[in-house]
Structure 1
């Protein structure tokens, strides 16, 4: 495996994971990873079935630093966060992102007007295409309101949970709104995450799909990050060889790892 940095990881500090952070690290060591970046969920105002997705950042940082010291010299551990982006929360996101010394910040669209595509009610009263378009149209709006992020997570996340997933989905079908989203990334200096969980979700590819990655490259995008979005040890670095092949086919030769919010480029 030539991609040895997994830059999208969740542990029990995130509401949707039960995995102890140390068990995630031990699995990373078994896989031969050289870097792991934890990116616990901070979705301000988001409640899923009454569960808050706002990480206790003080407790997270304290636990992280203890393990960073314990594993010093064995693996590089990086302190990150995954911010759920909605334009209405821009003031909170600005203050929060500057209050902590993160190495890496992922910005992700997890909700549209407070509704998560993970749940069926997101699709009620509209077609799948209308739901997908509503999701994609929020990306430039989110970045216009708040852009202090390093990469945009799983840009076509919505297709993981649509009624037909990606069977009736293509870049060409949504080219107008997807190109606007990619242009916003480039204008704001935000990278594109290649999230391998799409394979686990039965899409047969990463999020985003190959044609979006090619379009990002064609439009001048240069920064790609790679993450498994693992919430349990068994998913760490999942399908990274497939991701490497995907990136090479799309014209990339390097991927980025962020330290102290600055990209460092590693050869694929």
Structure 2
């Protein structure tokens, strides 16, 4: 399978070389990879933390594509941190560069990152999770041209009790609306295996959401480990084929030049 979500030293939260990420993917016999380094304009309290050096990033990844041409597929993508007030800025950034793949993600909600305990202060965990999902609806309505929505229930990685009290059913009204709007816009969702790394025993989003996406007619489904270090490339990929088949999928998606290609899930 392809790992279509990973970061290297062009992201503010990684120091890994792109070469080391490629080597790890090849060692694990992956079919291909896509770098998706962070772009988060106006990140709370640290507005410069996740600004992408587009010129250096593009030059490096395109040179690696040439170096590994015919040996191993290396695509160039981006993970865009969505916030309504920077939608035009994000749209312009995406349109200005030849990305193969664009992940739209909600790393912040109401100018707070759920990674930090401050997001949960003054409200219950359930209220915090619901507000996070509501903010995704606000982001979907902006004009940013992404291909899939990343780690749809990212918030549960960091909640006070993580996914102990979490279920799709608790938030089905708002999650269904998210999925319906994505499908109407021909946008997909990502299966992000970092949830296993964070102790959730499931990817982000959880299998119930993946299954519901399929029931509603969703077809575009990418897979990524969200690795920031070589050892996490392809993390828990051995669990994904059976999980996705149980959710009603027989294929997954890879984007090249923003065009989706469907690949059969391995046995």
TM-score (norm: length of structure 2): 0.97
Q: Is the 8 Å Cα contact of residues 21 and 229 (structure 2) preserved in structure 1?
A: yes
What CA deviation, in whole Å up to 9, does each residue of 1:37-88 have, x standing for no partner? Answer: 0000001111565751111111111111222222222101101000001111
Matched, 1:127 2:130: no
Q: Give the CA deviation at 1:243.
A: 1.4
The CA distance in 2 between the partners of 1:137 and 1:267, in whole Å, is 33
Q: Is the 8 Å Cα contact of residues 33 and 74 (structure 2) preserved in structure 1?
A: yes
Q: Is the 8 Å Cα contact of residues 136 and 178 (structure 2) preserved in structure 1?
A: yes
Runs in 1 of length 4+ with deviation above 3 angstroms?
A: 47-51
1:229 aligns with 226
1:219 aligns with 216
Any gaps of 5 or more consecutive residues in structure 2? Answer: none
Q: Is the 8 Å Cα contact of residues 87 and 146 (structure 1) preserved in structure 2?
A: no
Q: Is the 8 Å Cα contact of residues 7 and 227 (structure 1) preserved in structure 2?
A: yes
Matched, 1:137 2:124: no
Q: Is the 8 Å Cα contact of residues 47 and 53 (structure 1) preserved in structure 2?
A: no
Map 1:36-47 → 2, pairs under 5 A: 36-47=33-44
Give the paired residue count: 265
1:55 aligns with 52
Q: Is the 8 Å Cα contact of residues 104 and 258 (structure 1) preserved in structure 2?
A: yes
2:182 aligns with 185
The CA distance in 2 between the partners of 1:125 and 1:51, in whole Å, is 28
Q: Is the 8 Å Cα contact of residues 33 and 75 (structure 1) preserved in structure 2?
A: no
Query: Cα 1:115–1:190, aligned 2, differ >3 Å: closer, same or farther?
Result: same
Any gaps of 5 or more consecutive residues in structure 1? Answer: none
Matched, 1:68 2:61: no
SS in 2 for 1:44: coil
The CA distance in 2 between the partners of 1:50 and 1:223, in whole Å, is 32
The CA distance in 1 between the partners of 2:144 and 2:10, in whole Å, is 24
TM-score (norm: length of structure 1): 0.96
Query: Cα 1:47–1:60, aligned 2, differ >3 Å: closer, same or farther?
Result: farther
SS in 2 for 1:8: coil
Richer in strand (by share)? 1
The CA distance in 1 between the partners of 2:241 and 2:193, in whole Å, is 10
Match of 1:151 among 148, 151, 167: 148
SS in 1 for 2:62: helix
The CA distance in 2 between the partners of 1:63 and 1:240, in whole Å, is 27
The CA distance in 2 between the partners of 1:213 and 1:65, in whole Å, is 33
Q: Is the 8 Å Cα contact of residues 8 and 227 (structure 1) preserved in structure 2?
A: yes
2:26 aligns with 29
Query: Cα 1:49–1:42, aligned 2, differ >3 Å: closer, same or farther?
Result: closer
RMSD: 1.1
